[in-house]
Amino acid sequence: MLTAADHPAAPTRGGPLGAHGSKPRVLIVGGGIAGIAAALRLAESGVPVTLLETRKKLGGRATSFVDPRSGETIDNCQHVALACCTNFIDLLHRLGAADRIRWDREQYWVQPGGQVSIIEPSTFAAPLHFTRSLLDATFLTRLELAALGLAAPAVLRANRADWTTRTFAQFLRTCGQPRSLIDKFWAAVVVSACNLSVDRVSAASALKVFQDGFFANADAATIGISTVPLIELYDRAVSLIAQAGGQVRLGTGVERLDAHSITTTAGERLNADRVICALPPERAASVIDPALFAADPRFRGLAQIEHSPILGVHLEFDRPVLPFKHAVLVNAGTQWLFRKDADGRVVHAVISGADEWMHLDESAIAARVVADIREYFPSTVNARLLRVRSVKEKRATFAPTPAVEALRPATTGPSGLILAGCYTATDWPATMEGATRSGYAAAAAVLGLSTASVLVPDMQASKLALALGLRRTDLSSLNSFAPLEQPC
């Protein structure tokens, strides 16, 4: 649905850096989306990079594995992009993988008993494009619709900078939102996008989701789902990096790193002009050189950044159980279902913010999910579960609480070590878009460019949304330092 022309790549200005035009040596530690994004942008500028990843595969937490029980390649968890994720879409184009994403404009919200409401944009301009669908939605009462109508203008016009220290639940209380509506609608969207409940998530992060993902543009909430295992999205990364004289070293752990070198767990020392640390925050805190760690205030909060878990459950039944491509289960423990085959026998269930599920064993998890499927799709009551595979990601994402938002570090700082990762100050929640933006920002720091010059612009807001007071506050500079003064 979306093409390269819809999200044109931002031009890379300037050439490879170094004295008298020489190419810098760059080490990137961490082969998740942030590390891949940084490596590709540098490779495209002719900069040879060495990308090190401790696992034997790329993708970090957005990847796949071969299930030893079935021999099939399955994803850790279902990852979803939205059309407003302009930089992640750009990364897919650079990887030659954009055609591996299916785009759906419809969302299927299912109630107990099987009644379905289809939420989709109409011909109305944003932010009114979902009005018709919501008015027809059977899972919302008239009183709840009236409350939603009162809150929407407040969300549209909210200055996110005023809400960084408070939760989204506190914001919703100021809008008089009933708990029933919060549970049915607001929480369903927020936990899926931010992996955190409305009672814990920073209001600034949640408002970002609604302002950019729902109100700014009628196409913004279009859902993108990979049609192949996630790991296949990164197939071309190794060759693209190699074409610029770089390399990807899988299965290489890092014991220590600083601004100009790394030491692997095997004792090998590698030197570079620039080092990009694209590791998760807790891992970064454990490998940054202690002297460097003490010299840079960005690092002090790394170990304090909390995480939120996601549970993915792969199920196969003896007959079709899911008639839609995906479904939101209203007020269920199982939040989303995704169809993974043509007829709906193979289903992937997703539970975000899954703290209450982490202590359960696989049989108990399966029992809960199957019970939800039978309650919401009564025709499946006789369907027999053939197999189940649950995947617990206890540290799936950082938890964007008000406290954690204040700890998110800038890309650059006084130590010279460059940070990348969705937890950095990207102004996005823990998403593939945030990870991509952080990788692009890291590449910009190496190239001596501003972050803005390498990012793909946000989707254009509709004239009506702007006329009605849409606020698109950029909070990415709240924790920022000045960019590196001298390129390598």
Query: With bands split at pLDDT 50, 70 and 90, how would you rate the model's confidence at 473?
Result: confident
Query: 121: cis peptide before it, omega within 30°?
Result: no
Torsion sign (Cα): 357, 362, 363, 369: positive
Residue 187 has what DSSP assignment?
A: H
Q: What is the mean pLDDT of the chain?
A: 93
Over residues 33-56, the mean pLDDT reads: 97
Confidence of residue 474 (pLDDT cuts 50, 70, 90): confident
**SS3 per residue for 327-354:** EEECCCCCCEEEECCCCCCEEEEEEECC
List the CATH code of the domain at 307-398. Answer: 3.90.660.10
Query: CA 484: distance to chain centroid?
Result: 27
Torsion of CA 426, 432, 438, 441, to 10 degrees: -110
Lookup: tokens for 304:
């304090």
**Phi/psi of residue 143, nearest 5 degrees:** -65, -40
Q: How far, rounded to the nearest angstrom, does the alpha carbon of residue 249 sit from its chain's CA centroid?
A: 25
pLDDT at 282 over 70: yes
Distance CA 453, CA 455 (A): 6
Portion of the chain with pLDDT greater than 70, in percent: 93
Mark 433-449 as b/e (b = at least 16 C-beta within 10 Å): bbbbbbbbbbbbbbbeb
CB atoms within 10 A of CB 229: 17
Extents of the domains making up the chain: 23-91+228-303+401-457, 124-221, 307-398
This prediction has a pTM of: 0.93
Burial class (CB in 10 A: 0-12, 13-18, 19+), 141: middle
pLDDT at 14: 36
Distances (CA, A) of 468 to 234, 440, 465: 41, 32, 5
**For residue 278, which amino acid is it?**
A
| Local structure of residue 213 (DSSP, 8 states) | I
The pLDDT-based confidence of 479 (bands split at 50, 70, 90) is low
Report the pLDDT averaged over residues 189-201: 97
Q: Is the pLDDT reported for residue 437 higher than 60?
A: yes
Q: Which residue, among 113, 94, 207, has the nearest Cα to 436 in the 3D structure?
A: 94
Q: Which of 22-26, 219-223, 374-378, 386-390 has the lowest mean pLDDT?
A: 22-26
Tokens read off for 297:
């205030």
Q: What is the structure's pLDDT at 477?
A: 66
Please tell me whether residue 355 adopts helix, strand or coil conformation.
Answer: helix
CATH topology of domain 23-91+228-303+401-457: FAD/NAD(P)-binding domain (3.50.50)
The residue count of the chain comes to: 488
